Structure 1
Amino acid sequence: MSNWLYLHFRAIAQALGRLASQPLGTLLSALVMGIALSLPAGGYLLLDNIASLARGVSGTPEISVFLETGAGEADAAAIEKRLRADPQLASFRFVPRDEALQQLEKGGLGDVLGGLDANPLPDAFVVTLRTGDPAAFEALTGEMKAWPRVAHVQLDSGWVKRLHALLVLGRSAVLMLAGLLGFALVIVTFNTIRLQILTQRAEIEVSRLLGATDPFIRRPFYWFGGLQGVLGGLVALGAVWLGVAALAAPVAGLAETYGAVFSLAGPQWPESLAIVSFAAFLGWLGAEISVRRHLASA
């Protein structure tokens, strides 16, 4: 185990030495990888922020459950028991018919309602879900319609469906962009490692004559590609944070025009770790392909 660690530490030191020996090339490669990765990373982060902003502006989607006009307190209690037992619900509130009538009167319909002999409004429950998935809203709505003493279930999810569809489309486009740029970055690393192998051909031949194994020779190149990817990932994170800083004020101003308070959020540590790890993987993958392709002929 100690020998294995020593070999890897030695390979890391060699890779760092090679990176430091060509600072301009290392910087340019990191910038290329970072800028390329910042596009899908920033796009995905922007979509998440747009979703949060839309929820804050449009409000939480709700399901209104209207009871039959002849439903009594026992019927309302039975419905409330069902709602409390449903793990999908984030919250719910009971709106008595008298309270609903008062709300309509405050809304300017007092003259119209004053001519009625009795309150025509039913008791109702207003329900919010933990998820924003339209399929969950549709499924729960169908289930509630079958409950006893329920006259009507109104689903406020038209905007939810449109927003969900747009976000799914946007995320799919971002993933496609990430795949294309990732493929391009693998090619960049492939060529970089190929040049490394060609420039160190004599050193590789001497190492083989001295009994060095293929894993021993390959290991520094793997670490070179991985570390180059890490540098590119850090550049991508920096670019994303610069974008967040530049857009924070305009986005906050846009939210204020809709009466909402919103601040643009940057990548948290899980997203940051994912970006750097993905960049390191791309660097390692390019090195792996290049080493297997060119080292045999070195």
Structure 2
Amino acid sequence: MFVTKPRLFLKYVFKNRFAVPSFNVSNLEMARAVVEAAMLEDAPVMIQTDFINFNYGGMDELYYLVRTLAEPVNVPVLLHQDHPGEDRNIIRSLRRGYYSVMYDGGHLPLAENIRETARFAEIVHAAGANLETEIGLFGGEYQGGQPVRCGSAEAAEMVKSGADTLAVSVGSEHGQSSRLDLQLLSDIAESTGIPLVLHGGSGIHPDDAKAATQLNVYKINIGAALINGFVAGLAEGAELAPDHEPTHQRILRHVVAKLREIARSRLSLFNASGHGKKLLVELETAEGDLGEKVQC
């Protein structure tokens, strides 16, 4: 199922205390592997694209690719627009049919970040979509790649922006092995009371990832794990003995199989497995107003 009721999706995940991996994809093999993994694990999943993916694969092309893969399956697939690059890409994503988008203001002063997030919250909610915003900086972004952790008081202020979810910098870094500051995450969870997001999730220690699911984290971004798996899969596939398939198809089938197992491992680790059909029933039977903003 291609999810068009994002608030109900969010409410279910948050209520049941697990996290959904949000996989960054840029081609057919990545997207197909993620959807197949979700089906095998009976898990809801998020697939996300950002401005780098748009520059490579095109927004329209990636949107229709994911939607085509998601619509016939019996697990919920929510498409999310990650770092937009330019603010206008938020509007473009909404017009195309994304039901979850991000405003990327973590590099701004707090007051400006709140103000700009609030401005986009009105637009996003009018389109029936969810808005994610960010506070603090993750490794690999801005300021020479140095992470800047956010405080619980600042995070509490960001709630005033009206965003549905908040990405917080508590130790994770893009493409790097990392340990989370679980005490800081706990403090932020208590001070905000809304669903939290972790970027740079590929390298988070498994114990920390599991702990985070019990500290209001509902979404963990996974990018580097798929990228590294794709590159490794190509190299491994090229070494396979020739068979009846054309060489490029044999290699890409191996890539999909490798990425599928990577995705399954994250779905299981974040406790999402087994929730797919349950959430699907709620999404299919929901009518009318889907409720207020999600808070604990």
The TM-score with structure 2 as length reference comes to 0.24
Higher strand share: 2
Q: Which has the larger radius of gyration?
A: 1
Q: Which has the higher contact order (CA 8 A, sep 6+)?
A: 1
